[in-house]
Amino acid sequence: MNIIYISAIISTFAELFPSFGLSYFLPRSGDTEFYDSKIVSRIVEVVLVWFPIAYILYNSAPIRAIIAISSIMLGFYLKRFAAYHVVENRLSGLLYFIGLVIIVTILNEKGNMINNVLSGSLILLGGYLISIGRQGELTVDIMGRILFTIGYFYFISNLVKFSNVPRPEIFNKVILPIGILYLVYTLFQKKCEQKTL
């Protein structure tokens, strides 16, 4: 199995189970203190998810890849804490959108434009529905996370077809295993905390 699918599974888990505090979006529970306590875990998750993507894109279009990934990382940075302001929230969404559009244009050079646009649209629509669902609409929240997951795996599938560039061994053998172990540890820690309450 291509190593990038492992990163995709990590991202999907984070969005489908937001109560673990790894999601890009604040959990519906509104527990801001818990969410902010998981900042390091979210940074680890972002590195594991986006490093393989950035590596593949960089080998095809270095400048645009740097702009796209920098835009997305800045968007994540603005939303790193729960108490972000409305302006930061909108700017973060705009940056994420810009980064995704640039990535789609890179993929369109060698792949199917319809598939790439569709996957990007599903990710954006899913993210939009999740942001609405956080305000109390559980059905909308679930629908958004499902659409996001489908779009993301579709995107990863397109990315794998786009390039056969091998991932660097240091990521495959060091960064990825350590990152996964750390995330498993934080999930286990949360479970233990729930039992002691």
Does some domain include residue 68?
yes
Query: Is 173 within a domain?
Result: no
Domains: count for the chain: 1
In this predicted structure, the answer to whether residue 122 has a pLDDT above a threshold of 80 is yes
- The domain in which residue 74 lies consists of 60-109
Tell me, yes or no, whether 33 lies in a domain: no
Q: How far apart are CA 13 and CA 78, in angstroms?
A: 22
pLDDT value, residue 170: 52
Q: Which tokens hold the place of 90?
A: 């909108």
172 falls within a domain:
no
The string of pLDDT tens digits covering residues 17-72 is: 777 777 766 666 666 777 778 888 888 888 888 887 888 888 888 899 999 999 98
| 169 occurs within a structural domain | no
Rounded to whole angstroms, how far apart are CA atoms 4 and 47?
Answer: 12
Q: What is the 3-state secondary structure (H, E, C) of 73-140?
A: HHHHHHCCCCCCCHHHHHHHHHHHHHHHHHHHHHHHCCCCHHHHHHHHHHHHHHHHHHHHHCCCCHHH
In a domain, 97, yes or no: yes
85 inside domain: yes
Q: What angle do CA 44, 51, 80 make, to 5 degrees?
A: 40
Contact yes or no for 61/68 (Cβ under 8 A): no
- For residue 84, the one-letter residue type is Y
Determine, yes or no, domain membership for 148.
Answer: no
